[in-house]
Copies of this chain bind each other. A is one copy, B any other.
């Protein structure tokens, strides 16, 4: 008998972990609904022709491929087999692969269902994705993504609402965050005015080190990367950019005066920040030029969220992109989206102990089982208790009280109901508060009131 196990990089979720994860997903879902986003789901398996070439060469290698059912060798010559060419033969053995992210299936969905969709299409999607990555701490081969996107609208109000969603979600979690915002057009503008369009990534990486290594070392690093002295001189006000968002925007307007694209980025950012300023965000939002995520993908605003009280990478991110669906033959569909990192948020809430008790303690009341007659009375009472919306159980077996109480303890059940001979005679229930130890003799109606209060 082999001890059973699960594939590396995958996880089982226990009831307590599920309760916490559901709390996270439900909070995000509720806020998405408040803002008019609608859920879709796509199949776990997509045709490999849909997935291949969308994630770069590295990504193609990380796809989980599903072997064709039936005779997977049909149509393959002996020579091909003996070539042992994994890439070539995989393509013959496997027509399907597991979803690698939610974006490509979403693009495929928009194209396939474009006749049924009324644009702007505000969709959210909470589903697992699979990547044949090397498993390591905090990185899994199966994990959930929670994405929301608006496609088919160029309005910057979408960016504004996504930031409101981010702010509301973390307010509800009780997590203090800093929302960082940047704009791809500002970065392009910077590259343009210093004549170093190709080095924009090197430049943002260097700027990001200012606090740690100081201005001289940043400039030295830029020089090392081949940025010209003239360009470095022009870059100085940008490297030293500081102050409030408005001060930063003012500096950028001067520096980027000659770049139409750059000024457009400044204007967009200004609109987003000024509109948000009137909307009472709980968390701070900061213009951060070092934010350069997904540079090849995003075309306008870029967002990222950092937790203030826990050392952890970005817990949410997103941005505006053009041409989501061009690769599937439908050009001109632009959009903007965000993605909450559920696994990291799970860790943050764990570390800060922010799970509300009622989200995690699922059963509220356990009836101890003293025998057939007592159980019959308990089941009658349970009819009323459950009709009142209280989550309650009767211990199914008539075993030792100690075993039944340890079940209540193991599940953190806050109330235990005892029905013995005396209670039965009176038609009442002894309710024990497991936190205080206090006991009360109550009618079923009083019991409901006691638990609900």
Q: Which residues of A contact B (CB under 8 A)?
A: 1-7, 10-15, 18-19, 22, 33-36, 38-47, 49-50, 61-62, 64-67, 69-73, 78, 81-82, 84, 86, 89-90, 93-96, 98, 108-109, 111-113, 116, 118, 120, 122-123, 128, 130, 132, 141-142, 150, 153-155, 157-158, 160-161, 168, 275, 278-280, 328-329, 362-363, 366, 369, 375-376, 379-380, 383, 386, 389-398, 406-407, 410-411
Contacts and interface: CB of A to CB of B under 8 A. Distances in A.
A392 to B, nearest CB: 7
Contact of A35 (B46, B153, B386, B398): B386
A95 B49 CA distance: 24
A15 B43 contact: no
A24 to B, nearest CB: 13
Contacts of A15: 38-40, 123
Given A38-B362, A45-B142, A4 B118 contact: no
A153 B397 CA distance: 7
A326 to B, nearest CB: 10
Nearest to A95: B7
Given A44-B130, A47-B6, A132-B69, A379 B12 contact: no
Residue picked from A12, A22, A67, A391, most chain B C-beta under 10 Å? A67
A73 B86 contact: yes
Closest 9 CB pairs of A and B: A36-B393, A15-B38, A10-B43, A155-B396, A118-B410, A69-B132, A1-B329, A18-B39, A13-B41
Nearest to A82: B78
B112 A90 contact: no
A108 B362 contact: no
A47 B376 contact: no
Contacts of A116: 14
Given A38-B19, A82-B81, A122 B44 contact: no
B36 A14 contact: no
Chain B CB within 10 Å, residue with most, of A72, A329, A407: A72
A205 to B, nearest CB: 31
A394 B122 CA distance: 12
A415 B4 CA distance: 55
29 contacts: A4-B47, A4-B108, A4-B111, A4-B112, A6-B45, A6-B47, A6-B108, A7-B95, A10-B44, A14-B113, A19-B38, A34-B386, A34-B390, A35-B386, A35-B391, A35-B393, A36-B366, A36-B391, A38-B411, A43-B142, A44-B142, A45-B130, A64-B67, A72-B90, A73-B86, A81-B84, A120-B396, A275-B379, A279-B383
Q: A38, A49, A153, A406 — which one has the most chain B CB atoms within 10 A of its CB? A: A38
Given A4-B108, A19-B39, A397-B120, A362 B12 contact: no
A123 B328 CA distance: 42
A330 to B, nearest CB: 9
A64 B73 contact: no
A118 B157 CA distance: 51
Contacts of A279: 379-380, 383
Given A4-B111, A18-B38, A40-B13, A69 B78 contact: no
